[in-house]
Structure 1
Amino acid sequence: QAFAIELPHNSENTPADLGLRFAEVLEKAGAQRAETLVALGRSNIELRSFNVPPVPDDELPDLVRLQAPRHFTTIDDDWALDFFTLDEEAGDSRTVLAAAVASETIEQIRRTCDAAQCQLNSLVLRSCAAAALVKRAEPSSAGVRLLIDPLAEDVDLTVLSGDTVVFTRTTRLTAEVGSDMRADALLGEIRRTILAARNQLQGRQVERVVLCGAGDDHTAIELRIAEQLGLPVERFDPFSVCTLARPLRRALPPHPGRFAPLLGLLLSEASGTRHAIDFLNPRRRPAPPDQRRLYGLAVGAAVSIAAVAGYLVWSNSADIDDRLKALQTKSARLEKQLNSARESQQDLAGLQQWQSGDINWVAELARTSKEFPPTSQAIVTHLLGSAQRDGGGQMRLDGYAADASTVISMERSLRDATHDVYGSGSQEDEKRTKYRWTFSERVEIQPVDHTATPPAAEPKP
């Protein structure tokens, strides 16, 4: 089934009111208590592209979250954030497109889903979901294209370079669908989008326009794009990518272009493809491998080798005495191997302890970001980390704070059993309006004691 739910424009409606409206319609359609995927419009989120140092993909999530407050103006620790990379290979730096949404917005959506008795599974960026559907229709398309997805009152304009979303914006159109006034307004927004996307395209130009929808509603804007912008326009019917049941194929809903984000969401979910932006399931650093499984495999392999060797000795010995002597010889040899394995295990433990003494700067930066006051109270303008020759390290932080009590609270939060904090004194700068107090802090990171060795395993009788 594919249908739209008309919602009241009353601003006094609460999330629970909207959820009850959804529940009523879904019950009539026999789709109550369904798993729910929500596509969020561009106007509800903050979107920024910025460069980060060339680190491996596993370290990107922590690094992007650490640098995000420097590029977003209103983000705080409670906001959900996800991102994807705009470049394929790492060079001097990597470019990411990061999106953030306020926790209050997510909570409103959760309350709506709870009232509708639906389970919220994913919360994605609407324009990226529509782009995912277009990429399925043209999996190997190259060049730069502008995807236009006209909705009821909004229109999503998304620039794709190959298969990658490089720029997206949403604008509101109040004129009647299919009217010349609406076409003129949309043409102006298309011009603004092409101009705004130039920085991300690095000299390349939009080569064609993909217009979501079918029928005569978009004829006026299609003609204007071709005549005034000189760009070829391709109509894209979102339902053409799907295999439809006969009842739906015979009675498609009106304005099929508005279903592009929904169909992109469903197909990505059904195929197990990760959504480009998913605020409920953001990219994270992979969990470390389970060393216990590796040790278990090693022990199992050693036991298997010993069993096979014992069986071969027994099967090839005709005389009982010779068989006993052979087994005794094999036992002595295995005992030497066992002693050698114990020594290797001790060497491995020592190496692991030596490695644990190194400074994990990504972890230190993550800790500093966690313990640091929110951006509304303090900012860092300069950060320098250095390792000490005899172990441990030092981190220098310079910046501004809202007041002296914030500096004191920051020093207290950063100090623990392995971190000593020394401030060179804070001073009020009367010329500044928001962050009036300067600070300079030195964080001494104590070396990890790795001199103790683990006890050797007792030999089995």
Structure 2
Amino acid sequence: MSKLLAVSWNPFSLRFVYGESGKNGVLRVIQSGERPTALPSASDDSTDASTAEDAAPAAASAETDPVACLVALVKELKASKARLLLCVNRAMVDSATFAVPPASDAELPAIVRNMALRQLPGMTEDSVIDFIAFPETDEGRRTVNAMALAEADQQLVQRLATESGCAQASVVVVTHSLSLFAPPPDEDDSSATLLISKGHQSAHMLVTHRQLPVMSRSLRLAPAMKGDEEAEYIAVEVSRTLLTAESVDGPDIEIGHVVVIGSELESSALVAALTDQLGIGVDRKSMRSLVEGEAGDASLSAYAPLVATLKLTAMGQPPPVDFLHPKRPPKATQKRNRILATVAAAAVLIGVGWYYVHMQFADATAENVVLKARLRELDELVKETRSKRNLAKVLAAWEKSRLNWLDELRDITIRTPSSPELVLQQFSGAASGSGYTVSFRGISQSPDVIRKMEEQLRDSWHAPKTPGIREIKDGKKSLWSFQTTMPLKSRSKDKYTSHRTAEPSEVAAAASVKAASKTTSKALTKGPAPKTAKAPTGSSKSIKATASGGQR
């Protein structure tokens, strides 16, 4: 079992994960956390102005020099025998993607270095350059992604590796290890995978194609950003980066899978924002699948690149780029062979370079002509369809929110109790916000009738509210004045009430009328009734009037 220590840093803190690797690539986390790179000075409490002015430059230099912090950390963890993995931020790395002439793997490092010195600004003969070589295309072309550190950053990582006290060290790009979370490659699927890891005030994104890093970026997040605002900003920046970037083969990158690394609590807002921004499904993966046992702070998404770097090392996979151990051409056994190789490489570069540049310009010119013609066609199409698209949006919004007032009035009329005890005196309706509201007022002989009216009108689309009822004296009788407000919701035509269902009291009244009619018919068939038998006739009229009033 070997010890591993992965470290990343920024101007203010140093983040680390210390673990050990076992058989079959098993990884266990021993300790993880953050250490401030600027330690408090003993003279902080001094009130001398000159002392404070002298201490400010020292504090600023301490913030930008994590060497002392790393040395103290290695002593604290007793990790001098561990392999040190320095994960540099993507913003510190200069990169360029270009095609190279046909060459073997042994010849490729020299060719890439010579071409990268012209592609990368500020590079010198002493600069360390490493690269990622992509598979050869069907046309025989091969593309590489060359990377290098600026001179100051190169000196810093050399100091970190030398003064840390660790036996072995590597300098890798922090975003490259995220490729471990990409789904296995499928021969029938040529799309790329987008991986995103969000940390404290930073976020890392990586685009991989068949497990090789194609494009990566580190985002700085403002300290004030939190929650949905932070997730929305990351989603917009990711979308903007994908729109402006090109794949290694030239055309736009086609993203087929999106993976957010982190727990559900940390990444739920980011998953939702990316789904809305990119329009494709977003998967979530956790670092716990890479670690055996408890992970502690390393289970947070901010530690995902470090944990993935340890896992790749435990599995024995070399990093795509290592600035301490870059890809180099094999050493020549004789001086004569080196001279011949140099002359041959120069001849190849001159001949193939001219041909390559000429073909590149020709391809770019032809592609620009096609793209300009296509752009003009799309611009004309957008101008022609703008008015129709706007009209369609307006009609769709109107159709979605409109209300059929005829059906609504019939529904309310049918469902309102038909009783002489309830009289509606005023009715009005109008739009209100995103819905509609009707209000009506009237008088009733009893508050129970008003309550019954509300119960008959209330359903999923009506919410009647009667704030108060006022009593009006009419001699010895009491009338009750009310005003009801009822919000309405639009619905489909089949949801409206189209006919009135008879109530039990009305059914009973109809049955009584029918029985009284039968009794009167039997009395008439027996002969003329005496003059004192006029009560049934009057009684019959009273019943009919009551029935008529009940059925109205």
Contact 2:79 2:166 in 1 (8 A): no
Tell me which residue corresponds to 2:232: 184
Query: How far, CA to CA, are the matches of 1:176 and 1:31 in structure 2?
Result: 36
Tell me which residue corresponds to 1:134: 181
**1:223-275 CA distance string (max 9 Å, x none):** 12112321211112123123x23xxx1x5216622223223322332333221
Q: Partner of 1:159: helix, strand, or coil? A: strand
The partner residue of 1:60 within 68, 89, 108 is 108
Counterpart mapping for 1:413-432 below 5 A: none
The worse-fitting range, judged by mean Cα deviation, of 169-178 and 157-166 is 169-178
Q: Which runs of 5+ in 2 are unaligned?
A: 1-29, 39-58, 353-552
AA matched with 1:260: A
The reply to whether residue 5 of structure 1 matches residue 54 of structure 2 is no
Contact 2:98 2:143 in 1 (8 A): yes
Contact 2:109 2:328 in 1 (8 A): yes
The reply to whether residue 95 of structure 1 matches residue 143 of structure 2 is yes
Residues 288, 239 of structure 1: alpha-carbon distance in 2 compared, 3 angstrom cutoff: farther
Contact 1:82 1:98 in 2 (8 A): yes
The partner residue of 1:363 within 342, 345, 360 is 342
Residues 35, 104 of structure 1: alpha-carbon distance in 2 compared, 3 angstrom cutoff: same
Higher RCO, 1 or 2 (CA under 8 Å, sep at least 6)?
1
The reply to whether residue 123 of structure 1 matches residue 152 of structure 2 is no
Query: How far, CA to CA, are the matches of 2:244 and 2:133 in structure 1?
Result: 19
Contact 2:290 2:308 in 1 (8 A): no
The partner residue of 1:253 within 297, 311, 315 is 297
Residues 21, 187 of structure 1: alpha-carbon distance in 2 compared, 3 angstrom cutoff: same
Shift in Å, 1:30: 3.9
Q: What TM-score do you get using the length of structure 2 for normalisation? A: 0.49
AA matched with 2:274: I
The worse-fitting range, judged by mean Cα deviation, of 24-33 and 100-109 is 24-33
Q: Partner of 1:12: helix, strand, or coil? A: helix
AA matched with 1:46: D
Counterpart mapping for 1:131-280 below 5 A: 131=179, 133-135=180-182, 138=184, 142=189, 143-176=191-224, 178-200=226-248, 202-242=251-291, 244-245=292-293, 249=294, 252-253=296-297, 256-280=300-324
Shift in Å, 1:363: 1.2
Residues 130, 358 of structure 1: alpha-carbon distance in 2 compared, 3 angstrom cutoff: closer
Query: How far, CA to CA, are the matches of 2:197 and 2:36 in structure 1?
Result: 20
Shift in Å, 1:105: 1.5
Q: How many residues align?
A: 299
Contact 1:39 1:124 in 2 (8 A): yes
Q: Partner of 1:207: helix, strand, or coil? A: strand
The structure with more radius of gyration: 2
AA matched with 1:64: V
**1:31-74 CA distance string (max 9 Å, x none):** 34533111111110101100111112221111111111221122
Query: How far, CA to CA, are the matches of 2:310 and 2:144 in structure 1?
Result: 25
Contact 1:54 1:90 in 2 (8 A): no
Shift in Å, 1:189: 0.7
Q: What TM-score do you get using the length of structure 1 for normalisation? A: 0.58
**1:260-301 CA distance string (max 9 Å, x none):** 3223322332333221011111112234689xxxxxxxxxxx
Query: How far, CA to CA, are the matches of 1:104 and 1:13 in structure 2?
Result: 16
Query: How far, CA to CA, are the matches of 1:151 and 1:232 in structure 2?
Result: 22
Q: Partner of 2:325: helix, strand, or coil? A: coil
Query: How far, CA to CA, are the matches of 2:80 and 2:278 in structure 1?
Result: 46
Query: How far, CA to CA, are the matches of 2:339 and 2:162 in structure 1?
Result: 45
Residues 218, 357 of structure 1: alpha-carbon distance in 2 compared, 3 angstrom cutoff: closer
The reply to whether residue 40 of structure 1 matches residue 126 of structure 2 is no
Tell me which residue corresponds to 2:77: 29
Aligned-CA RMSD value: 3.3
Query: How far, CA to CA, are the matches of 1:3 and 1:359 in structure 2?
Result: 51
Residues 114, 287 of structure 1: alpha-carbon distance in 2 compared, 3 angstrom cutoff: closer
Query: How far, CA to CA, are the matches of 1:169 and 1:275 in structure 2?
Result: 17
Query: How far, CA to CA, are the matches of 1:111 and 1:148 in structure 2?
Result: 30
The reply to whether residue 285 of structure 1 matches residue 329 of structure 2 is yes
Residues 115, 262 of structure 1: alpha-carbon distance in 2 compared, 3 angstrom cutoff: same
Query: How far, CA to CA, are the matches of 1:206 and 1:287 in structure 2?
Result: 41
Moved >6 Å (runs of 4+): 356-359, 365-368
Q: Partner of 2:175: helix, strand, or coil? A: helix
Contact 1:21 1:116 in 2 (8 A): no
Residues 36, 199 of structure 1: alpha-carbon distance in 2 compared, 3 angstrom cutoff: closer
Query: How far, CA to CA, are the matches of 1:105 and 1:21 in structure 2?
Result: 17
**1:150-200 CA distance string (max 9 Å, x none):** 122221211112212111122211145752221121111111121123444
Contact 2:37 2:69 in 1 (8 A): no
Q: Partner of 2:280: helix, strand, or coil? A: coil
Shift in Å, 1:23: 3.6
Shift in Å, 1:97: 0.6
**1:94-131 CA distance string (max 9 Å, x none):** 11011011343232223234444334521111111222
Query: How far, CA to CA, are the matches of 1:383 and 1:175 in structure 2?
Result: 51
Residues 154, 364 of structure 1: alpha-carbon distance in 2 compared, 3 angstrom cutoff: farther
Q: Partner of 2:275: helix, strand, or coil? A: helix
Query: How far, CA to CA, are the matches of 1:191 and 1:158 in structure 2?
Result: 13
AA matched with 1:188: V
Residues 187, 358 of structure 1: alpha-carbon distance in 2 compared, 3 angstrom cutoff: closer
